[in-house]
Amino acid sequence: EDQVTQSPEALRLQEGESSSLNCSYTVSGLRGLFWYRQDPGKGPEFLFTLYSAGEEKEKERLKATLTKKESFLHITAPKPEDSATYLCAVQAWGGGGNKLTFGTGTQLKVEL
Amino acid sequence: EAGVVQSPRYKIIEKKQPVAFWCNPISGHNTLYWYRQNLGQGPELLIRYENEEAVDDSQLPKDRFSAERLKGVDSTLKIQPAELGDSAVYLCASSPLAGGNTGELFFGEGSRLTVL
C-alpha cells in the first residue's frame, strides 16, 4: 500500500526565514510525486510534478526536489501570502491509473 | 475559463437523512474524481470516472454511497443514509487526459458536510 508521510505537521516562520518541508513516501513504483497548496476553505491547487530522483522544479519562492525516498519543498524568503497547507501526493505505476495518495499536509504560517 | 464548480458549499443534516452533492467539471475534462477530506487529513479518493464509466470505485462505501456521471459531464455523489462519521469536505476534481497524466488535478472548492 502506498504511503506518504509529511513533516512537520505545522511550521511557523518569520517573513524572509527560509525553510524546508519534508515528504517521505513508500510506493511500489513511483510514477510521479506531486505538491499541492491548499488555502482554508478551498480545494488543493497544483504546484509541481516530479518524476525521477534528482529532478527539481521551481516556482517563485518554492523549489521542489526528489530523491528515491523523499521530496523536499524549499521555501526561500517566504512572505505571508505563502501561508497555506502544503500537500504531497504520490502516484504509482499499475492499476491505480490516476489515483493520487495524499499525505496529511504541512500547515505553514508566515508572520510579519 | 471557469473552474470546477461544486454545490452546495455547505450542508448540515441530521443522521440518517440523505444528501447529494453536485459537480460540474472543467469543460473538456473527461476524467472526474470525488475525494473526501477529513479535518486535518489529506484527500482520499472515493471514485474516479473516465467519461461515463466509473473506473475506480474501490474506496466508495457502496452500502450508503452512490455516484453517477450522466453524459460524461456533470456528476452527483449521494449519501443515504448519512452517518456522523460522514462529516467531511467532499471535493470534486477533473483532469483533461484519460488513463494517466501529469497528476495535475483541478479541484473545486468542496462541499462541507456536517452530520448532527
Strands B88-95 and B111-115: antiparallel
- Chain B interface includes A100 (CB < 8 A): yes
In this prediction, residue A95 carries a pLDDT of 59
In this prediction, residue B99 carries a pLDDT of 45
Q: How far apart (Å, rounded) are the C-alpha atoms in residues B15 and B88? A: 14
In this prediction, residue A76 carries a pLDDT of 98
Among B residues 52-71, those touching chain A with beta carbons less than 8 Å apart: 55-56
Each residue of A55-93: pLDDT tens digit? 999 999 999 999 999 999 999 999 999 999 999 999 988
Residue A29 has pLDDT above 90, yes or no: no
Q: How far apart (Å, rounded) are the C-alpha atoms in residues B29 and A83? A: 30
- Chain A interface includes B22 (CB < 8 A): no
Distance from CA of A93 to the nearest CA of B (A): 10
Distance from CA of A80 to the nearest CA of B (A): 21
- Mean pLDDT calculated for residue range A6-15: 98
CB contact under 8 A, B105 and A104: no
Residues of A in contact with B103 (CB under 8 A): 32, 34, 46, 49, 89, 91, 98, 100
Residue A109 has pLDDT above 90, yes or no: yes
Asked if residue B36 lies in contact with residue B107, where contact means CB atoms within 8 angstroms, the answer is no
- Mean pLDDT calculated for residue range A94-111: 86
Please report, in tens digits, the pLDDT of each residue of chain B (116 residues total): 689 999 999 999 999 999 999 999 999 898 999 999 999 999 999 999 988 999 889 899 999 999 999 888 999 999 999 999 999 999 999 998 654 566 789 999 999 999 99
Only one residue has cell 513508500, namely A26
Helix, strand, coil percent values for chain A (each to nearest 5): 5, 60, 40
Strands B31-37 and B88-95: antiparallel
Residue A13 has pLDDT above 90, yes or no: yes
In 3D space, the residue among A67, A87, A63 whose CA is nearest the CA of residue A4 turns out to be: A87
